[in-house]
DNA sequence: GCAAATTAATGATTTATTCAAG
DNA sequence: CTTGAATAAATCATTAATTTGC
C-alpha cells in the first residue's frame, strides 16, 4: 500500500547482511519458533541494522524452518531412493495388531491385549497405548539378534521375512517428491 | 554380543541421524502405531543405517506418540490459561506466536469469507472466490512503523540493550536441540 | 563491460492438517 | 461431528544472481 513517492518502494523486506547473520545465529542456537515476545525483541534489535518489522522476523523463522525441513526431506528421499532398488519385493499379509510383535516365550498370550476389533471401529490411533504390562516370563523380539526361536512352525504366516520389502508399505504421501529441478515455472507464476 | 572390549557397547539403542529422520518421516506421514509387519519392514530398512532391532522401532513409536501428545497437551494448557487475555488483561505478552501477532483491525474480519455457515455446511466450498482481496481492513502487525506501541513489559529476562549486543538477548540456549547437520544452508543468496 | 533475459532464492500468503474441546 | 487454535506445507510473487548477446 501507500505508493510512497519516488524513492525505493520495496514491496518486501530486504534484509541486511547483519540481520541475516543474526537471525541465522539465533536459529542455529536453537530458537526455531519464537513467540511474540521474542519476535519483538529480535525485531527491535535488528532494527538497529536496518528497517524491519515483526512480521519479517516471523516469516523469516517460518520460512527458514520450513526450508530446512524440506532440504532434509529431499536428502532423505534421495537416500531412500538409493536403497530402494536394493530391496526385493515380497508379499506379506496384513496384520493389524501391533502387539503381535511380542512373542511370549512360553505361554500367557495375554488375552486382553487384543481386544477384538469391533467391525466398524475406526481405531483412532491416539488412544490405545496402555500396553498393560506384558512382562513376566520374558519375551523375545522378532528380528533381534538372538531369539528367533518361535513361530516358524504352525503355519504362522506372520513375519518370517526372508526378504524385506519396505518402502511401499508406508503411506508416504511424497509431497516432497514433486519437482525435480525446475519443472515449476518460478518466474512465470502462471497464476 | 560379547562386551567387545574397546568399541562402544551401548546398553541401549543409539539411533543414527538417518534413522531418526526416517522414523520421523514415517511418523509424520501418518503411521503412528505400526503393526508387527510394518515394524519388521522398518527395522530392516533402518538396519542399513546402523544397528537396530525391532523393539527399538516399536518403542520409538510408542515414545514418540506419547511425547507428542504430551507436548500438545502442555501447549494447549498454556493456551487455555491465557485465554483470558481477550476478556481481562490486555497484555499481549507471552502468547504463542501466530495470531497474537496479528491485530484484527475492527473485527469485521472477512465477513464474506465465512458467510455464516449453516450448521451443517462445509464452509470451504466456495474457495474459488480467491479470498477477496483482504487489504484495507485486513490486519496489522505489531511492531511496524505505524503501531510501534509495544514495548517490553516486565516479564522475561529482557535484555533491552542500548548497545547492540544482540546475541545475549535471547534465551537461545539449545541444549535440547540436536540437529547439527549442515543446516546453515542458505547457499547462494546469503548476501 | 553492460543490461536484457533467465534462473535461483526467498519473502509473504494461502491452504491443509492436527489435536482437543464442546 | 463440528469448531477453534496453531502450525506446517504448499504456493505465490519479488528480489538477487547468473547467463547471454552484443
pLDDT in tens, A20-47: 999 999 999 989 988 888 888 999 999 9
Taking the CA of residue B71 and the C1' sugar atom of nucleotide C19, their distance in angstroms comes to 11
Query: Which nucleotide is closest to B135, CA to C1'?
Result: C13
Interchain pair A54, B141: CB under 8 A: yes
As a whole number, mean pLDDT of residues A157-165 equals 34
Query: Residue B160 and residue B165: Cα distance in Å, rounded?
Result: 10
In eight-state DSSP terms, residue A50 is S
A20 Cβ nearer than 7 Å to chain C strand: yes
A138 Cβ nearer than 7 Å to chain C strand: no
Q: What is the pLDDT of residue B66?
A: 81
Q: What is the pLDDT of residue A80?
A: 67
Taking the CA of residue A188 and the C1' sugar atom of nucleotide D22, their distance in angstroms comes to 26
pTM of the model: 0.54
Chain A residues in contact with B26 by the CB 8 A cut-off are 170, 172
Q: In what helix (H) or strand (E) does residue B55 lie, and over which residues does it extend?
A: helix B54-81
Distance from A22 to chain B by nearest Cα, in Å? 7
List, for residues A111-138, the tens digit of each pLDDT value.
333 333 334 334 333 333 333 333 344 4
Q: How confident is the model at residue A1 (pLDDT cuts 50, 70, 90)?
A: very low
List, for residues A47-90, the tens digit of each pLDDT value.
999 999 999 999 999 999 999 988 888 877 776 666 554 444 33
Query: Residue B21 and residue A76: Cα distance in Å, rounded?
Result: 7
Rg of chain A over all Cα atoms, to the nearest angstrom: 27
* CA closest to C19 C1', residue: B72
Query: Residue B77 and residue B100: Cα distance in Å, rounded?
Result: 16
Query: Residue A161 and residue A163: Cα distance in Å, rounded?
Result: 5
Does residue A178 have a pLDDT over 70? no
Residues of chain B with pLDDT under 70: 1-10, 75-191
Residues 6 or more apart whose CB falls under 8 angstroms from that of A99 comprise A110, A113, A114, A131, A134
Q: What is the pLDDT of residue A56?
A: 94
Q: How confident is the model at residue A13 (pLDDT cuts 50, 70, 90)?
A: very high
Using alpha carbons, select from A39, A47, A40, A41 the residue that is nearest to residue A19: A47
Q: What is the pLDDT of residue B33?
A: 81
The upper half-sphere exposure of residue A21, i.e. CA atoms within 13 Å in the direction of its Cβ, equals 8
Taking the CA of residue A10 and the C1' sugar atom of nucleotide D14, their distance in angstroms comes to 9
> Grid coordinates standing for A127?
488412544
B97 Cβ nearer than 7 Å to chain D strand: yes
User: Can you list the positions of beta strands (E) in B69-111?
Assistant: 102-104
Which chain B residue has its CA at the smallest distance from A128's CA?
B33
Q: What is the pLDDT of residue B53?
A: 92
A61 Cβ nearer than 7 Å to chain C strand: no
Contact A87, A165 (CB under 8 A): yes
Identify the three-state secondary structure at position B86.
helix
Amino acid at each position: 500500500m501507500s505508493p510512497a513517492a519516488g524513492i525505493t518502494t520495496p514491496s518486501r523486506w530486504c534484509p541486511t547482511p547483519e540481520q541475516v547473520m543474526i537471525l541465522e545465529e539465533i536459529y542455529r542456537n536453537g530458537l526455531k519458533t519464537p513467540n511474540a515476545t521474542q519476535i519483538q525483541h529480535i525485531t527491535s534489535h535488528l532494527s538497529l541494522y536496518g528497517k524491519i518489522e515483526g512480521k519479517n522476523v516471523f516469516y523469516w523463522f517460518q520460512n527458514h524452518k520450513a526450508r530446512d525441513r524440506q532440504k532434509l526431506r529431499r536428502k532423505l528421499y534421495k537416500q531412500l531412493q538409493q536403497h530402494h532398488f536394493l530391496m526385493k519385493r515380497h508379499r506379506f499379509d496384513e496384520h493389524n495388531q501391533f502387539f503381535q510383535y511380542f512373542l511370549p516365550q512360553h505361554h500367557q498370550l495375554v488375552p486382553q491385549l487384543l481386544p477384538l476389533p469391533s467391525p466398524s471401529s475406526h481405531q483412532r490411533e491416539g488412544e490405545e497405548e496402555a500396553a498393560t504390562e506384558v512382562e513376566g516370563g520374558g519375551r523375545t523380539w522378532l528380528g533381534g539378534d538372538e531369539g528367533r526361536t518361535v513361530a516358524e512352525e504352525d503355519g504362522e504366516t506372520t513375519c518370517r521375512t526372508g526378504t524385506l520389502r519396505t518402502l511401499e508399505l508406508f503411506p508416504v504421501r511424497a509431497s516432497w517428491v514433486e519437482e525435480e529441478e525446475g519443472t515449476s515455472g518460478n518466474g512465470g507464476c502462471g497464476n
